[in-house]
Structure 1
């Protein structure tokens, strides 16, 4: 199976290694070919991920719009990360995909010297790419900030552990400093992230077979917005240990078999739930399996994408997928 990470276009090295150990190398869609981060490029070169850029064109226009939004975010006080201010300022709206915002986007990009594309539908791919580029900048910056906070926390703990005589005065070495809290990156503009990502995925001539996410907010939104349309069901949740690097992906063979079965009753899930025995030792993750019953991945992706996006001819799968599986992986 070919798994794809959704609805994000950025992930850390540690997370990429974990997901690859579970399902194999993941497809990571990029909104533009230029400016792919060194982190993602390195992961692609060693085969942990596969970078794909399904949509191209308007590169100068896209880069100019991204630079403008980044500059705006930096000039606005109280915005800690590039792109965060722009996304937060549109809370409660349906950015990039409704008629009002498309018209606003046209106005924003006129200064870059390009004529109007002519129709709202023609603007949707550009709009999706711009949204994902802004979100990716924010996700990358947040990830690096989390790394800095983790290192600070480790240094703080090391300092506390080195204090002589602290135990004699009943000093609590572990009571100073708050535990690190990380926001679910999919909790902001969740619908827009899904629709923008699906715009890229729908333009890929080689559709992924398995959708993987690390955001509970994304899964909740999928169930709420697309659950009935896609016959989406939660099948099972198990606890797993992450395999060592170099081992075969733990879930790949089982998931490939499940996706092709005529039905997915409780008895059919036994090979999946039996993998919970692998949780003994190692770093543990919680894995929730969902399925869009009797829907192939191409149909599922197009259902999540906004209306009016251009269709592409898909490659025929060697082994047709009967059910589209969605995997939620959480630490």
Structure 2
């Protein structure tokens, strides 16, 4: 079993390294094989990410329809953020044959044509996830520029105060993690769009991980059965080559898989704390939540107001009796 990252499709390199402190490899969705960000490709080559494309959109078609649609939104809405909001609100004519309709609408500025076709919610969800990924990527680049400025200021102050270099490095790393949580932006829409794809995947695991506390808190509000079962707050980063640490990771996954497949309640005594590695000062916090007696499909179907699962569907058959949600954060 591999954990599946949600509800984002973009994972920066720094976040990927943090995920690898808990799990050897993390699965993540992408919408197009030709639109995978370079840093994610690198993480995939290193074996940290398992990139999955359950429902692919052709890259050239994606470029074409986004170009036309951006033009439409610039006329009607005016901003990139409004673009995402509009997409999440189920654009009336938005489906795989939408480009011609968009161009037609562009010729009639300010006059919206009543929809003649039903929207394709699944296609809309895929496109929304891709645009959210582009938004997150651009924001990450801006945050990096701001962090570089912070680092220069810190270097200047450190030289004035003769601060310890290790303490300075820790402070810079901490600020990087504390940048705005992308999950605060359109939380509901992100989760619904991601869940729309996940519910079409016949090979979902029993373990789902996020780095967004905003997403976790939103999910707790939706899934009333969700309860915290354990918190591990001293997991070292960059200890992949340490044998004791690797054995701990394997044991952690075995315990989590048992939690997902066995009848609840399950004894938690076998969940060992990670080994201490003194030379690793940056630690990771892993908080594990359980949704007992709900399969992953049933759990994420709760994100929708209407019934989205068909009873007895082969797509929702799974060995997992419970759903595990994990929040990964950088500790103090």
Q: TM-score, normalization: structure 1?
A: 0.76
Q: Secondary structure at the residue paired with 1:155? A: helix
The answer to whether the 8 Å contact 1:239/1:279 transfers is no
- Equivalence for 2:231: 237
Over 3 Å counting, the alpha-carbon distance change for 1:97 and 1:73 in structure 2 is closer
- Equivalence for 1:204: 201
Which residues of 2 match residues 267-282 of structure 1 at below 5 A? 268-272=267-271, 274-275=272-273, 278=276, 282=281
Over 3 Å counting, the alpha-carbon distance change for 1:134 and 1:295 in structure 2 is same
- How many corresponding residue pairs? 297
Q: Distance in 2 between matches of 1:235 and 1:29?
A: 27
The answer to whether the 8 Å contact 1:4/1:210 transfers is yes
Q: TM-score, normalization: structure 2?
A: 0.75
Q: Distance in 2 between matches of 1:75 and 1:152?
A: 35
Unaligned runs of 5+ in 2: 105-114, 163-167
Map Cα deviations across residues 66-88 of structure 1 (whole Å, 9 max, x no partner). Answer: 23455678999996xxx44533x
Q: Distance in 1 between matches of 2:285 and 2:212?
A: 12
The answer to whether the 8 Å contact 1:206/1:315 transfers is no
RCO greater where, 1 or 2, for CA within 8 Å and sep 6 or more? 1
Over 3 Å counting, the alpha-carbon distance change for 1:234 and 1:314 in structure 2 is same
- Equivalence for 1:153: 150
Q: Distance in 1 between matches of 2:188 and 2:26?
A: 22
The answer to whether the 8 Å contact 2:69/2:102 transfers is no
Deviation at 1:239, TM superposition (A): 0.7
Over 3 Å counting, the alpha-carbon distance change for 1:182 and 1:75 in structure 2 is farther
Map Cα deviations across residues 41-78 of structure 1 (whole Å, 9 max, x no partner). Answer: 22222211111111135655433232345567899999
Q: Secondary structure at the residue paired with 2:269? A: helix
Map Cα deviations across residues 114-146 of structure 1 (whole Å, 9 max, x no partner). Answer: xx89433xx111100111111100111111222
> Pairwise CA RMSD of aligned residues?
3.6
Q: Distance in 2 between matches of 1:300 and 1:43?
A: 29
Unaligned runs of 5+ in 1: 168-172
Q: Distance in 2 between matches of 1:205 and 1:242?
A: 34
Deviation at 1:289, TM superposition (A): 1.0
Deviation at 1:153, TM superposition (A): 1.9
- Equivalence for 1:102: 91
Over 3 Å counting, the alpha-carbon distance change for 1:68 and 1:162 in structure 2 is farther
